[in-house]
Amino acid sequence: MKKVLKTPISIEDLEELKAGDIVYLDGTLITCRDVAHRRLIEYGQELPVDLVGGAIFHAGPIVREKDDGSYEMVSIGPTTSMRMEKFEREFIKKTGVRLIIGKGGMGPETAAGCAENKAVHAVFPGGCAVVAATKVEAIEGAEWKDLGMPETLWINRVKGFGPLIISIDTHGNNLFETNKKTYNERKSSVLERISEQVKFIK
């Protein structure tokens, strides 16, 4: 059966989850990326949205503004989460966010933040932005529009948003960091094999 998280998300909802599990989301999902993180952490500006028990999406969507001033979600896939690594531990602590969705892994600081304040990071398959857009029922608001289309905080109501692959769980397990160790271990033997055959300078 599909595991579905609903906002507001409680600590109990997340405790059982393990890195590698797949979940889906119902509720409110707010886009939040580079400059919003920088404004909160480096400049101490208060976020114009309440994220306690909430979910953020590292994403910069394509949004169409309709004639009546409302918005249509056209295309919304995840962006590279690692860019937010510098800020995320502090961000989790300050906002009370429980679910961070993005692309690719995040590092040890985020993993520590997830363990300290009980949050998870999950991956939505990158590039699958139309699948994601069809899970957005409505755009309910937009904040910090001065940042331009990609960086605006878009407040989305989502249903069955996923698949979301848990990459960092509340126990601080980090799927990508674990996998990276394996990739790096394999690298030396691969390199040795290639090197033997490319001694073109003689």
Partner 1 sequence: MEKEAEVQSLTDILAKFTAYIGKRLPTDVKDKQAELRAKETNPMAIEIFDVMAENQDAADKLDRPSCQDTGVIQYFIQAGSSFPLLGELESILEGATIGATKIGPLRHNAVEAFVEKNTGTNTGSKIPWLDWEILPGKDHVIIDVYMAGGGCTLPGASTVLMPGQGYEGVAEFVLDVMTSRGLNACPPLLVGVGVSTSAETAARLSKKAILKPVTARNTNEQAALLEELLAEGINDLGIGPQGLTGDNTVMGVNIEWSARHPSTIGVAVSTGCWAHRRGQIKINADLSYEIISHQDVKL
- Clarify whether 37 is annotated catalytic: yes
* Residue with smaller CB distance to partner 1, 44 or 182: 182
Using CB under 8 A as the binding rule, whether residue 145 contacts partner 1 is answered as no
Catalytic residue among 37, 58, 121, 171: 37
Q: Which of 10, 116, 148, 160 is in the footprint of partner 1 by CB under 8 A?
A: 148
Using CB under 8 A as the binding rule, whether residue 64 contacts partner 1 is answered as yes
Q: Which of 18, 52, 130, 160 is in the footprint of partner 1 by CB under 8 A?
A: 130
Q: How many CB atoms lie within 10 A of CB 68?
A: 5
Using CB under 8 A as the binding rule, whether residue 105 contacts partner 1 is answered as yes
Q: Which of 133, 139, 153, 164 is in the footprint of partner 1 by CB under 8 A?
A: 133
The answer to whether the bond into 125 is cis (omega within 30° of 0) is no
What is the per-residue binding string for partner 1 in 1-30, x denoting contact by CB under 8 A? -------------------x-x--------
Q: What's the CA dihedral at 119, 120, 126, 128 to 10 degrees?
A: -80
**Residues involved in catalysis:** 37
What are the residues binding partner 1 (CB under 8 A)? 20, 22, 59-62, 64, 74-77, 79-82, 103-105, 123, 125-131, 133-134, 147-151, 163, 165, 175-176, 179-180, 182-184, 186-187, 190-191, 193-195, 197-201
